[in-house]
Chains A and B, each alone.
Chain A
Amino acid sequence: MTFLELKHVRKDFGAVVAVQDFDLDAETGEFVSFLGPSGCGKTTTLRMIAGFETPTAGAIHIDGRDVTTMPPNKRNVGMVFQSYALFPNMTVAENIGFGLKVRHRPGGEIKRRVGELLDLIHLPDRGDRYPYQLSGGQQQRVALARALAIEPSVLLLDEPLSALDAKIRVALRHEIRQIQRQLGITTVYVTHDQEEALELSDRIVVMSEGRIEQVGSPFEIYNFPKTGFVASFVGTLNAIPARIEDAASGQLLLGGQHIRSASPFEGARGDAVAVALRPEMISLEGIEASTADSGDNRVRATIEEVSFLGAVVRFKVRVGEGDESARIDVDTFNNPNLAVPSTGSPATITFPPDACLVLGRDTGIRGVDALAAAEAML
C-alpha cells in the first residue's frame, strides 16, 4: 500500500529549478534512498517531504493525507540531520524526550520511552550526558532515537553519516537498517554515497539536475542502468570510445578490434559511440583462473598501470593505438598467488557481450554526453 506519495513535485528557487517532475510512491515500511551528486535536488525533495520547503507545484501525500502546505510541526515526520542538530542545552534523555514533551505526554511515559530508545541505540547509561560529551557516532544515534521517539509516520535522514569516519559509518548504517526493519517505518534516506544507498535501500531513486534518472532496486540500478548518468554515477564504469560496425547485430570496433554487444542498438556504420563496461565484468587472461566463455569478446591490450586497492587489484590497460586507442580499468580480486604482469607487457582482456552497454550521443540518453566522457578518460 502506498504510504508516501509525491506527485509531479517541482521546486523553483527564483530562476533556478531545483526539482522538477518528481514522482514517487513509497510503500509502508519501505526504505527508499535518494542518490545523486551535490546539487541534484535530493535534499530539497527531502525538505519538501519534511515541510521545510513548500513545493512550487505538485502534491505530497503521507498516509493518504495531503501535507503539501502543512507546517512541519504538524506532519509527524522524524528527521535526522547531517549535523546531528542535538540541542546542546539538553541532556541525551531530554533530547530524546523533547518531542514527547511537546506532545504533553505524562512524565512516566516519557521516561519509559526514553529508556526503551536508549536501549535500542545501545546507549543505556548515557541518558544524563550532554551531547558535547558524546562521540560523533553516539550523537548521531541519539539524533536517530530522538526522531524515532515521536513514532513518526515517515523517517527522513539527510546524509546522516557524512560527518563520521569510515568505520563508524559502516557500523552505523547497519544499525540504522536493523532499527528501520525492526520498527517497519517508512524511511527516506538522502546520500551521495552509492555504497550506502546500495546496501541500505529497498529502492533507490537516482537523481541528476533536479530530475529522476532511474528508480529501482539496488540490483536493477547497478546491473541495468537506464541512462548514461546512472551507469557512470553508480559503481565504477569504463566508458570506452568505439565505432559501429553493424548496429543491428551489435557489432563494434574497439581499438581497431571486433567486439559484440548482446543487444542491438541504433546508429550507422562508422558512427562514434561509447561502450560502458564495469571493471569487474572484464577478465585479464593469464593472471587468474579463466572463466571466459567461448562467446566472450577477446581484445588484445597492453598493461599500463597496476594499483593495489586492498581486496582488489586494478589494472589499467590500453587497447589499440593512436586515435582509436582506449584505456580500460580491469578489477581482479587480490590473492597472494596472483601472477601480476609488469607494466608494458601484452595482455588479453575478455568480457561477455551482455556486459556491454552501448551509449551514443543520439540515443536520447539525458544528463551525460557519454562519448565526451569516454574521450575525457583517454
Chain B
Amino acid sequence: MSTGTTDRLGMALNVATVAASEPERRRRRPLSTAGAWLIFIIGFLYFFVPLFATFEFSLRAAKRDPVTDELIKPSLAAYENTFADPAFWSSLAYSFTVGLITIAVSLLLIVPTAYWVRLRVPRLRPAVEFVTLMPFVIPPVILVFGIIRIYSGPPLALTNTPNGSDILLVGAYVVLSFPYMYRAVDTGLAAMDVRSLTEAAQSMGAGWPRIIWQVIFPNLRAAILSGAFLTLAIVIGEYTIATFLVGTKPFGPYLSLLGQNKAYEPAAVSLISFGITWAAMGMLALLGRGTRGRVQVAGAR
C-alpha cells in the first residue's frame, strides 16, 4: 500500500472517530449538566435548609396585637426583642472594638514580620509558619488557663487591673489570628515582586517606614482585608477565651447566655450575626475590587 493510501485511510479513520465521538459527547452533555445541577441543589439545600429552619423557628415568637390584644404568629417579635435588648448592642460593640484592635495589633506584628522574612531571611519561613500555626495545636481552653495563670500574679498581675482582662483578651485573639493573618499576608507578598519593589523604592531614596507604608501596605490591601475579615469573624464568635477572661461582655458568651434563657431570640441573633458576616464579606469584596489585576508580573503583558 502506498504511503498516500495509508494517509487517506488514517484520515478516514480519524474522521470516523470524530464523527462517532461527537454524538456521544452530545448524548453525555445533558447527563453531566443534570449531575452538576443535582450537586448544586444538594449543596444549596445543605446550607440553606438549616438557615431557613432557624429563620422559621425565629418567627414562631408570638407578638401581641396592641389593638386586639391577640397573639400574632408568625411575627418578628424575636428580632424586635433582640434589637431592644441593650446587652445585644453592648456585646456587639464590645466584640467589634476588640476585633478592630486585634486586627490593628495583628497587622502591625504580621506585616513587617512576613515582609522581613520574605525579603531578608527566607530560610526562616518554615519556622515562622510553624509558630503561626500554634493556635491550631493549642486548644483555646489551655491557652486561656495559661494566660490567667501567668497574668493573675506578680510581676504581671493584669487580671486585677481595670482593663487588664480586656488587654489580655486582645492579646489572646492576636495569637488566634496568626494562622489566618500570616497566611493572607504571606500570599499577598508572594503575589508581588517584594524585593524589586523594595529596591526600586530604596534607589529613589525611600527609607523603611515609607517603603512599608506607601509601597508594601497598599499592594497588600486585598490580602490584609481577607486576614482582617477572618480575624473579625473569629473574634465575634469566640466563646471559650472570652468567657474565662471577661465573662459575658463579648458577643459569643452573650449569645450562649441568651440560648440558656430564651427560646426564639438565639435563633434571631444567629441570623443577625450571619447577616453581619455577609455584610462584612460584601464590604471586603467592595474594598478589594480596585486591587484586582494591579499586582503585576513582569512581562505578563
Q: Which residues of chain B in 202-225 are interfacial with respect to chain A, using CB atoms and an 8 Å cutoff?
A: 202-207, 210, 215, 218-219, 221
Is A58's CB within 8 Å of the partner chain B? Answer: no
The residue in chain A whose Cβ has the minimal distance to the Cβ of B204 is A99
Is B193's CB within 8 Å of the partner chain A? Answer: yes
- Across the interface, B202 reaches (CB within 8 A) one of A72, A130, A132, A147, namely A72
Known A-B contacts A79-B199, A83-B196, A135-B301; the reply to A146 vs B204 at CB < 8 A is yes
Within 8 Å CB of A86, what residues of B? 200, 296
CB of A134 within 8 A of CB of B301, answer: yes
Within 8 Å CB of B108, what residues of A? none
Is B197's CB within 8 Å of the partner chain A? Answer: yes
Within 8 Å CB of B206, what residues of A? 73, 98, 102
Known A-B contacts A87-B197, A89-B219; the reply to A136 vs B301 at CB < 8 A is yes
- Across the interface, B203 reaches (CB within 8 A) one of A78, A84, A136, A164, namely A78
Within 8 Å CB of A22, what residues of B? none
Is A150's CB within 8 Å of the partner chain B? Answer: yes
* Most chain A beta carbons < 10 A, residue from B203, B206, B215, B218: B203
Known A-B contacts A89-B219, A99-B204, A135-B301; the reply to A81 vs B199 at CB < 8 A is yes
- Across the interface, A103 reaches (CB within 8 A) one of B201, B205, B301, namely B205
Within 8 Å CB of A74, what residues of B? 205
Is A200's CB within 8 Å of the partner chain B? Answer: no
Q: Which residues of chain A in 64-96 are interfacial with respect to chain B, using CB atoms and an 8 Å cutoff?
A: 71-79, 81-89
Within 8 Å CB of A143, what residues of B? 200
Is B154's CB within 8 Å of the partner chain A? Answer: no
Is B295's CB within 8 Å of the partner chain A? Answer: yes
Known A-B contacts A88-B219, A102-B205, A147-B203; the reply to A131 vs B196 at CB < 8 A is no
CB of B201 within 8 A of CB of A163, answer: no
Within 8 Å CB of A98, what residues of B? 201, 204, 206
Within 8 Å CB of B193, what residues of A? 83, 85
Is A50's CB within 8 Å of the partner chain B? Answer: yes
Known A-B contacts A85-B196, A89-B219; the reply to A131 vs B296 at CB < 8 A is yes
Within 8 Å CB of B221, what residues of A? 89
- Across the interface, B196 reaches (CB within 8 A) one of A71, A72, A81, A134, namely A81
A79 to B200, CA, bound (A): 7
Q: Interface size on B (CB < 8 Å)? A: 27
Q: How far is the CB of B263 from chain A (nearest CB, A)?
A: 51
CB of B301 within 8 A of CB of A72, answer: no
Is B43's CB within 8 Å of the partner chain A? Answer: no
CB of B205 within 8 A of CB of A85, answer: no
Q: How far is the CB of B6 from chain A (nearest CB, A)?
A: 29
Within 8 Å CB of A73, what residues of B? 202-207
Per-residue A-contact encoding for B275-301, CB less than 8 Å = 1, 0 else = 000000000000000010111101111
CB of A88 within 8 A of CB of B199, answer: no
A151 to B175, CA, bound (A): 46
CB of B201 within 8 A of CB of A136, answer: no
CB of B219 within 8 A of CB of A87, answer: yes
The residue in chain A whose Cβ has the minimal distance to the Cβ of B298 is A83
Is B192's CB within 8 Å of the partner chain A? Answer: yes
A261 to B77, CA, bound (A): 106
* Most chain B beta carbons < 10 A, residue from A81, A135, A139: A81
Q: How far is the CB of B84 from chain A (nearest CB, A)?
A: 45
CB of B294 within 8 A of CB of A89, answer: yes
CB of B197 within 8 A of CB of A102, answer: no
The residue in chain A whose Cβ has the minimal distance to the Cβ of B210 is A102
Q: How far is the CB of A43 from chain B (nearest CB, A)?
A: 12
- Across the interface, A164 reaches (CB within 8 A) one of B207, B294, B299, namely B299
Within 8 Å CB of A156, what residues of B? 203
CB of A50 within 8 A of CB of B296, answer: no
Q: How far is the CB of A67 from chain B (nearest CB, A)?
A: 13
A232 to B301, CA, bound (A): 34
A89 to B218, CA, bound (A): 6
CB of B298 within 8 A of CB of A163, answer: yes
Q: How far is the CB of A160 from chain B (nearest CB, A)?
A: 11
A131 to B296, CA, bound (A): 8
Is A265's CB within 8 Å of the partner chain B? Answer: no
Within 8 Å CB of A164, what residues of B? 299
A345 to B267, CA, bound (A): 94
CB of A88 within 8 A of CB of B192, answer: yes
* Interface positions of A (Cβ within 8 A of B): 50-52, 71-79, 81-89, 98-99, 102-103, 130-132, 134-136, 139, 143, 146-147, 149-150, 156, 163-164
- Pairs of residues from A and B, 3 with the lowest C-beta to C-beta distance, nearest first: A163-B299, A83-B298, A99-B204
Q: List 16 A-B contacts (CB under 8 A).
A: A51-B202, A71-B202, A73-B202, A79-B203, A81-B200, A83-B299, A84-B296, A85-B200, A86-B296, A87-B201, A89-B215, A102-B205, A102-B210, A132-B293, A132-B301, A147-B203
- 5 further A-B contacts with Cβ under 8 Å, apart from A83-B298, A103-B205, A130-B294, are A52-B199, A73-B203, A75-B203, A88-B294, A132-B296
